[in-house]
């Protein structure tokens, strides 16, 4: 298969981790005879520094004209600590999601066996947990009108959802549940928010087309508690943009490190793959960031294009790295391996077709 992949390394640790994902994809290309052509482009704070725009036209055009986008991370403390900044790195990512129509963000959560003791949560709570968060990605409070009065004393962000926006992601969540344990949990705040009440109505309607899938509802405050109290109850969590953002960082605690969680952002035409973590500026350039989330994003890319055995190979290589403790310091405090070494190990495992490494 020939795939043209736009790579947007972004800020902070983004370039270091996406490099490892590229290496893994390159190795897959060699072993399975695919041609992956990468083209890098600017987005985020680095793009603002060079062009004044967090999503330069050239980057957007590239993404519109490639098969898929591999994205690293975005954000820089110089903007976080400056509420008056008019142009912010995150605007680049939000605009890209909107322009590419990436309305569904899929975030799988499943602890690795050998890492069950890396989570601060008790083993008996997390062992066997396996769920996927379907986060709506192009609506809600992220994209509603923002206002600040002239005196700078009153601000508002509008949260808006249409039936259509809710319907399309709901279908994806139910279809995914049909191939899993057949349960969808809708998370909202329907006791307070009008948008949540619309979500409930629409989701309930859509669910009637999937009689084999059970549907239940949880308020988001309760869901935040249930995710760490009893994560095994979940199969597919369906939720709006902001709640999905918050709950997925929380859910990462189950796996032992947010540096392990990947995601796919899908629309009707385009697809982007990204770790759920941020730009971790403190680690930038230190070769300590965990590249696994980025490598797993690449595996999700392969799956998206139907390259299932290739994706499986990447998953197995990652499992091997974890099993053999070839991991970064977020997973093993005294580890001598850095971002590059973990990435090299993974691509070498992919390349050594017959497991030469371990004989
Ligand atoms: C994420 C990130 C982004 C989000 C930020 C960087 C805008 O936190 O992908 O989870 O909030 O969606
Ligand atoms: Mn987030």
Q: Which residues are catalytic?
A: 142, 189, 221, 245, 249
Whole-structure pTM value: 0.96
Does the structure show a pLDDT above 60 at 196? Answer: yes
pLDDT of amino acid 89: 97
Q: Is the CB of 90 under 6 A from ligand 1?
A: yes
Q: Do domains 1-104+272-359 and 119-255 have the same CATH topology?
A: yes
pLDDT of amino acid 81: 86
Predicted confidence (pLDDT) per residue in 204-244, tens digit: 999 999 999 999 999 999 999 999 999 999 999 999 999 99
Percent of the chain with pLDDT strictly greater than 70: 98
Say which DSSP state 143 is in: T
Residue 33 Rama label (left phi>0; alpha psi -120 to 50; beta): left
DSSP assignments along 174-243, one per residue: HHHHHTTTSEEEEEE-TTT-HHHHHHHHHHHHHHTT-TTSEEEEEEHHHHHHHHHH-GGG-SEEEE-HHH
Assign a CATH topology to domain 119-255.
Answer: Isopropylmalate Dehydrogenase (3.40.718)
Q: How far away, in angstroms, is 349 Cα from ligand 1 center?
A: 31
Edge-to-edge strands, sheet with 214-219: 35-40, 2-10, 68-73, 271-275, 262-266, 104-109, 131-136, 236-239, 183-188, 214-219
Q: Is the CB of 247 under 6 A from ligand 1?
A: no
For residue 353, name the pLDDT band (cuts at 50, 70, 90): low
Q: Which ligand is nearest to the CA of 274?
A: 1
C-alpha distances (whole Å) from 135 to each of 38, 165, 220, 267 are 27, 12, 13, 12
Q: Where are the domains of the chain?
A: 1-104+272-359, 119-255
ipTM of predicted assembly, 2 dp:
0.99
107 is in an annotated binding site: yes
Q: How far away, in angstroms, is 173 Cα from ligand 1 center?
A: 20
Residue with CA closest to ligand 1 atom 11? 245
How would you label 202-216 residue by residue, b for 16+ Cβ within 10 Å and e otherwise? bbeebbeebeebebe
Question: Which residue among 245, 258, 265, 272 is best mutated to probe the pocket of ligand 1, counting the most ligand atoms within 8 A of its Cβ?
Answer: 245
Residue at token pair 């990436």 = 102
Q: Is the CB of 276 under 6 A from ligand 1?
A: yes
Predicted confidence (pLDDT) per residue in 86-122, tens digit: 999 999 999 999 999 999 999 999 999 999 999 999 9
CATH homologous superfamily of 1-104+272-359 equals Isopropylmalate Dehydrogenase (3.40.718.10)
Q: How far away, in angstroms, is 263 Cα from ligand 2 center?
A: 11
Q: Which ligand is nearest to the CA of 136?
A: 1
Does the structure show a pLDDT above 80 at 37? Answer: yes
């Amino acid at each position: 298969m020939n795939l043209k992949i736009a790579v947007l390394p972004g800020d902070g640790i983004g370039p270091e981790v996406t490099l490892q994902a590229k290496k893994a994809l390159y190795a897959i290309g060699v072993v399975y005879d695919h041609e992956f052509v990468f083209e890098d482009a600017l987005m985020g704070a680095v793009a603002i520094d060079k062009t004044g725009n967090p999503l330069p036209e050239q980057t957007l055009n590239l993404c519109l004209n490639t098969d898929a986008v591999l994205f690293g991370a975005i954000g820089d403390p110089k903007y976080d600590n400056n509420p008056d900044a008019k142009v912010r790195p995150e605007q680049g990512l939000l605009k890209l999601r909107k322009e590419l129509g990436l309305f569904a963000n899929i975030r799988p959560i499943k602890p690795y066996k050998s890492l069950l003791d890396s989570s601060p949560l008790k083993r008996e709570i997390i062992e066997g947990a396996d769920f996927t968060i379907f986060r709506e990605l192009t609506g809600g409070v992220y994209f509603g009108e923002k206002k600040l009065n002239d005196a700078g004393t009153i601000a508002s962000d509008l949260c808006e959802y249409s039936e259509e926006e809710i319907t399309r992601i709901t279908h994806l969540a139910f279809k995914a549940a049909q191939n899993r344990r057949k349960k969808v949990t809708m998370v909202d705040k329907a006791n307070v928010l009008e948008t949540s009440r619309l979500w409930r109505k629409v989701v309930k309607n859509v669910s009637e087309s999937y009689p084999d899938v059970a549907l239940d509802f949880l308020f988001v405050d309760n869901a935040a508690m249930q995710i760490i109290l009893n994560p095994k109850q979940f199969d597919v969590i369906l939720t709006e943009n902001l709640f999905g953002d918050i709950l997925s960082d929380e859910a990462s605690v189950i796996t032992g490190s947010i540096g392990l969680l990947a995601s796919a952002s899908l629309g009707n035409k385009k697809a982007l793959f990204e770790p759920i973590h941020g730009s971790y500026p403190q680690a930038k350039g230190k070769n300590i960031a965990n590249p696994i989330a980025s490598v797993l994003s690449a595996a999700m890319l392969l799956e998206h294009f139907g390259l299932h055995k290739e994706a499986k190979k990447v998953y197995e290589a990652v499992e091997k790295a974890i099993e053999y403790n070839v991991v970064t310091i977020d997973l093993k405090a005294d580890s001598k391996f850095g971002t590059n070494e973990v990435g090299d190990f993974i691509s070498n495992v992919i390349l050594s077709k017959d497991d030469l490494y371990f004989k």
